[in-house]
Amino acid sequence: MHILVSNDDGVMAPGIVALARAMVPLGKVTVVAPSDNQSAAGHRKTMHKPLRVNRVKFPVEGVTAYSTSGSPSDSVALALLGFIAEPIDLVVSGINRGPNQGQDLTYSGTVSAAFEAVIWRKPAVAFSLCDHSEDAEYDAAAEIARQVVALKLYENLPPLTLLNVNVPALPLDEIRGFKITRQGLRQYNDELVERLDPSGRPYYWIGGGAPTGDVTEEGTDLWATDQGYVSITPIDLDMTSYAVIKDLEARGIAELKIAL
């Protein structure tokens, strides 16, 4: 099996090194990832400037690695569109420093790398560690990633569906097991911070505290990791609200004439 590894924390981030190392026993591993941190880049695609790619010396034996000047989704697209000549069987993204749960998925570059993979009909799994700290330990999350991939849970998923995996910040022997979950509800605590530059002109930071969320609703990703479980959430890129379709149809919207 040929496994492509990407992320949004940068090609030399400890999480991607740990993930690539965990994949080596399972097949050939190639890394293509942004040259620097692209956290919260979302599903950004570079269309109006060239992308640069450089081979880098990666600290895992047997792994070929490249850095790109683009986003996580750019990195995966480059690989799948032909920069990597050998066919790729699976894309794994991460291990992200910090969780990607609830509505985080709309921001996450790590999950967007997996989004890009399933758009090109490749199975994909995104991995995140529920620890924002600079000294986060990735060994347990890497072993969980190896186990999830070895179980081949990514096989036979519907089109445009990926797996989003969040690992609690616990030693391996304290993780209680796996839970198949749905997205929870995030609470963002952002604040707009206004400052002045040396010329007296205002500029802005989006600051505030870290996101929180409802960890009491059983069955969600937030609940699972709070309880010490690995959450595995299948994510479908079909974002249609089918219930609202029925409501709008019942209101006769489709029969209305366009006002002139």
pLDDT recorded at residue 224: 98
Average of pLDDT values for 216-229?
97
Nearest-angstrom CA–CA distance, 189 and 208: 6
Query: CB neighbours (10 Å) of residue 240?
Result: 8
Whether residue 41 is predicted with pLDDT greater than 80 in this model: the reply is yes
Q: Mind listing the pLDDT tens digit for each residue in 142-162?
A: 999 999 999 999 999 999 999
DSSP label at residue 257: P
Nearest-angstrom CA–CA distance, 44 and 77: 11
Q: Mind listing the pLDDT tens digit for each residue in 58-71?
A: 999 999 999 999 99
Indicate the pLDDT class of residue 3, thresholds 50, 70 and 90: very high
**DSSP string of 225-247, one letter each residue:** HHTTEEEEEEEES----HHHHHH
DSSP label at residue 256: P
Indicate the pLDDT class of residue 192, thresholds 50, 70 and 90: very high
pLDDT recorded at residue 104: 92
Pull the structure tokens for residue 124: 């994909």
DSSP label at residue 207: E
pLDDT recorded at residue 256: 80
pLDDT recorded at residue 143: 98
Q: Mind listing the pLDDT tens digit for each residue in 201-219?
A: 999 998 888 888 999 999 9
| Residue 64 and residue 31 in contact, taking contact as beta carbons nearer than 8 Å | yes
Whether residue 254 is predicted with pLDDT greater than 80 in this model: the reply is no
Indicate the pLDDT class of residue 39, thresholds 50, 70 and 90: confident
Indicate the pLDDT class of residue 251, thresholds 50, 70 and 90: confident
Whether residue 19 is predicted with pLDDT greater than 90 in this model: the reply is yes
pLDDT recorded at residue 253: 80
Nearest to 116 by CA among 233, 241, 237, 31: 237
Q: What is the mean pLDDT of the chain?
A: 94
Domains of the chain: 2-185+214-255 (3.40.1210.10)
